[in-house]
């Protein structure tokens, strides 16, 4: 894509939409923003890295490298300094934003997530972390700062190390077959890897069991379906492979910190 203008820098806590609510937790800024239908933004970039979770609507997003459709329920990452433009906002677009100032990374001796997270289609953002942060944004009590700081540390820390080479491969397989029954022998066959190796080392690189990782994938898929408004919660539970709505509700709350109906009503 070719920019038709010099990009505008968005200072901390500012977005091209209208800010409805903002909270500042030390070096963390959370906001809820809304956007007018068919609005087209200027080419712009952000001073700080931030994550966005689309609660309603969506838009088309352009960068010099690619064009994407941002849809409801999606989690997005924006690396500071990378210019982009949004067009064709849908009616009622509403977005939760989580912005991290340089002081946050200095305080906890952490690195800013790389630009690849913004562009790599295979990169999976931690939607459950964004939802947990959003819950603290709306709750906003005396404990919210400590809670959201912990959430943000977990959010920007990768769920797995980037080695050995079978780690990203098994992640891709589980994403592909997320709605089908998976077994250790099947994973072994898909990867050409001994099942004992998977069993022994999965938790080391993913910080959870294979079964729990698959549950997280199912919940992340459910997030988009809930926000679309096209399905009942019972239908979402069934389509995402849960035995019943009670199991879905319990799993969704444990992973995101919210009941599905609470999230649906935001």
Each domain of the chain, given as residue ranges in start order, spans 8-156, 166-264
The gap from C-alpha 239 to its chain's centroid, in whole angstroms, comes to: 20
Closest CA to 193 of 173, 215, 216: 173
Q: What is the CA radius of gyration of the chain?
A: 19
Which pLDDT score is estimated for 160? 46
Which pLDDT score is estimated for 3? 63
Assign 43 to helix, strand or coil.
coil
Fold of the domain built from segment(s) 166-264: Arc Repressor Mutant, subunit A (1.10.10)
CATH match of 8-156 with 2.40.40.20: no
* Side-chain-side CA neighbours of residue 237 (13 Å): 18
Q: 66-69 contacts: CB < 8 A, separation 24 or more?
A: 66/1, 66/119, 67/1
pLDDT in tens, 95-144: 999 999 999 999 999 999 999 888 876 555 567 789 999 999 999 999 99
Using alpha carbons only, what angle is made at residue 182 by residues 181 and 188, rounded to the nearest 5 degrees? Answer: 155
Q: Mean pLDDT across the stretch 157-183?
A: 77
Residues 155, 148: contact at Cβ < 8 Å? Answer: no
Asked whether the domain spanning 166-264 has the same topology as the one spanning 8-156, the reply is no
């Amino acid at each position: 894509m070719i920019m038709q203008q010099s990009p505008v820098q968005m200072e901390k806590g500012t977005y091209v939409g209208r800010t409805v609510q903002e909270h500042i937790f030390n070096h963390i800024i959370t906001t809820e923003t809304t956007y007018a239908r068919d609005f087209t933004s200027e080419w712009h970039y952000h001073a700080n890295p931030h994550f966005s979770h689309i609660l309603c609507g969506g838009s088309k997003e352009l960068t010099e490298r690619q064009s994407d459709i941002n849809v409801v329920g999606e989690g997005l990452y924006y690396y500071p300094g990378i210019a982009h433009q949004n067009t064709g906002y849908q009616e009622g677009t509403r977005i939760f934003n989580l912005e991290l100032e340089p002081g946050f990374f200095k305080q906890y001796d952490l690195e800013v997530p790389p630009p690849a997270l913004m562009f790599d289609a295979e990169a999976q953002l931690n939607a459950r972390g964004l939802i947990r942060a959003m819950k603290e944004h709306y709750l906003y009590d005396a404990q919210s700062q400590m809670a959201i700081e912990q959430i943000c540390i977990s959010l920007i820390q990768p769920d797995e190390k980037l080695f050995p080479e079978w780690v990203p491969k098994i992640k891709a397989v589980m994403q592909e077959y997320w709605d089908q029954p998976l077994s250790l022998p099947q994973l072994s066959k898909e990867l050409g890897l001994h099942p004992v190796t998977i069993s022994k080392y999965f938790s080391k690189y993913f910080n959870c069991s294979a079964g729990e990782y698959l549950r997280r994938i199912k919940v992340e898929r459910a997030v988009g379906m809930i926000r679309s408004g096209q399905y009942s919660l019972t239908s979402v539970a069934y389509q995402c492979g849960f035995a019943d709505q009670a199991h879905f509700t319990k799993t969704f709350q444990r992973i995101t910190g919210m009941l599905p109906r609470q999230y649906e009503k935001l």
